[in-house]
């Protein structure tokens, strides 16, 4: 199978079947041995998904009528062709000819792809100008998502939409049990990898250029992991002390669990719970690589009675299921797969998990509520509602050199100081 055909297969699974880009890509890439070919397929897929709404708009101008659903693979090849011509350093004649040949035995599709791509090349400036004038195509976001961001962050809307369409930096979390920021920066330099420290997060480094994880010194020995700075802040905010018991709810893939454990030189009791048994496999792998110990358990956070066995905790991290609108730049398929109706359903789940987790918290214990969302209804409005209904809950104001203080909690907007969009609220049980 050609590389472009492989990419079209992945994209069809996302657009037609609703599969996540990560899962769809994993299914194809495991059969591709050449690392350069794998990188090319990945670049095509992420690029088309990131700019999907713009490319789709242009394609609709080029076609007299949409292709049938059974020909989604050809639609995806057309989008791949347009993406190469506009965004990649692929020679135009190669982009056209290779995309045409990827249609294999569908001769009608070959002539269609050839005609459409060549028309785009002739009138590229005109098509791009039309896309710029359209709100959905110009911002490459669905209309409902543009509107919901405008409603919450009217002054920051354009910046947020722009940040969502950028490739994120590669950020590392240094295992503080084994090293520290500066020592690891020096170690990277010896391997010709340059990085910057983050002043407000003792474990975070941002690479000047992304590299494959196997090239990171000490990665296999647990010296470092890949994790955005915003997610790393949870460990410091939770402020776990020696001998305390910790519950990490909705823990997979285990990045925050590991970050909490890496800050401890003395023993703590850690229970990491997630509903997805498959994703818990990632947690176990991470714990093994990082040489950390945690009790890992499959369980539904909305039904703690099934797994908690009357245990209470000094610290609880509620890493709530959310719309993930703060991490679109890492998971651009959110713009295709997420629906406006999902937000209300997620709100109800968040509220339930938060309420049930509170019952598991010891008196004077701390609960940290976190989402990778920028929506107020999932964040500060959730905390306001919770505080109004729980007299024994008191907010601990987060004073920090990052994010924006809200009436309740602290919000990081996507791109702020290079970080993903994140929200934190810290509560103490009186």
3-state secondary structure the chain: CCHHHHHHHHHHHHHCCCCCHHHHHHHHHCCCCCHHHHHHHHHHHHHHHHCHHHHHHHHHHHCCCCCCHHHHHHHHHHHHHHHHHHHCCCCHHHHHHHHHHCCCCCHHHHHHHHHHHHHHHHCHHHHHHHHHHCHHHHHCCCHHHHHHHHHHCCCCHHHHHHHHCCCCCCEEEECCCCCCHHHHHHHHHHCCCCEEECCCCCCEEEECCCCCHHHCCCCCCCCEEECCHHHHHHHHHHCCCCCCEEEEECCCCCHHHHHHHHCCCCCCEEEEEECCHHHHHHHHHHHHHHCCCCEEEECCCCCHHHCCCCCCEEEEEEECCCCCHHHCCCCCCHHHHCCHHHHHHHHHHHHHHHHHHHCCEEEEEEEEEEECCCCCCCCHHHHHHHHHHCCCEEEECCCCCCCEECCCCEEECCCHHHCCCEEEEEEEEC
Active site residue 322: no
Kindly report the backbone phi and psi dihedral angles of residue 211, in degrees, each rounded to the nearest multiple of 5, phi listed first. -135, 160
Give which of 363, 362, 368 is closest to 430, Cα–Cα: 363
**Residue 246, CA atoms < 13 Å, CB-side half-sphere:** 29
The dihedral of CA 79, 82, 86, 91: what is its sign? positive
- Give ∠ CA 236-238-242 in degrees, rounded to 5: 90
How far apart CA 164 and CA 141 sit, in angstroms, is 9
How far is 226 from 204, CA to CA, in rounded Å?
9
Catalytic pick from 201, 250, 322, 372? 372
| 156 in Cβ contact with 413 (< 8 Å) | yes
Q: CA-CA distance, 147 to 295, in Å (whole number)?
A: 42
Beta bridge pairs of residue 361: 313
The residues annotated as belonging to the active site are 372
């Amino acid at each position: 199978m050609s590389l472009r055909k492989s990419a079209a297969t992945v994209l069809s699974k996302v657009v037609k079947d609703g599969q996540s880009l990560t899962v769809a890509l994993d299914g194809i890439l495991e059969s591709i041995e050449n690392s350069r070919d794998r990188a090319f397929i990945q670049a095509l897929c992420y690029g088309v998904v990131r700019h999907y709404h713009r490319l789709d708009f242009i394609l609709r101008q080029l076609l007299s009528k949409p292709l049938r659903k059974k020909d989604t693979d050809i639609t995806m090849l057309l989008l791949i062709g347009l993406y190469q011509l506009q965004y990649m350093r692929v020679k135009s004649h190669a982009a056209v000819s290779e995309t045409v040949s990827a249609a294999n035995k569908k001769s009608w599709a070959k002539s269609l792809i050839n005609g459409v791509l060549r028309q785009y090349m002739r009138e590229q400036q005109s098509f791009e100008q039309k896309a710029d004038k359209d709100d959905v195509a110009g911002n490459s976001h669905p209309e409902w998502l543009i509107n919901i961001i405008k409603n919450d962050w009217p002054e920051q809307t354009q910046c947020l939409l722009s940040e969502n369409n950028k490739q994120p930096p590669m950020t590392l979390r240094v295992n503080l049990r084994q090293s520290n920021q500066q020592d690891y920066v020096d170690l990277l330099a010896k391997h010709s990898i340059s990085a910057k420290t983050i002043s407000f997060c003792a474990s975070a480094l941002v690479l000047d250029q992304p590299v494959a994880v196997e090239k990171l010194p000490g990665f296999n020995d647990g010296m470092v992991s890949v994790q955005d700075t915003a997610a790393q802040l949870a460990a410091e905010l939770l402020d776990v002390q020696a001998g305390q018991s910790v519950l990490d709810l909705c823990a997979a893939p285990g990045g925050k669990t590991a970050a909490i454990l890496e800050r401890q030189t003395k023993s703590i009791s850690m229970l990491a719970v997630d509903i997805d048994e498959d994703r818990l496999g990632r947690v176990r792998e991470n714990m093994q690589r990082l040489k950390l110990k945690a009790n890992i358990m499959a369980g539904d956070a909305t039904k703690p009675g099934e797994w908690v066995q009357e245990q209470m905790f000094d610290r609880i991290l509620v890493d709530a299921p959310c719309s993930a609108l703060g991490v679109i730049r890492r998971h651009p398929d959110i713009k295709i797969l997420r629906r406006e109706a999902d937000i209300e359903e997620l709100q109800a789940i968040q509220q339930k998990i938060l309420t049930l987790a509170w019952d598991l918290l010891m008196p004077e214990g701390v609960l940290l509520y976190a989402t990778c969302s920028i929506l107020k209804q999932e964040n500060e409005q959730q905390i306001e509602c919770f505080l109004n209904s729980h007299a024994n809950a008191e907010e601990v104001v987060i004073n920090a050199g990052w994010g924006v203080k809200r009436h309740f909690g602290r919000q990081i907007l996507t791109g702020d100081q290079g970080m993903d969009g994140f929200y934190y609220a810290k509560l103490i049980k009186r």
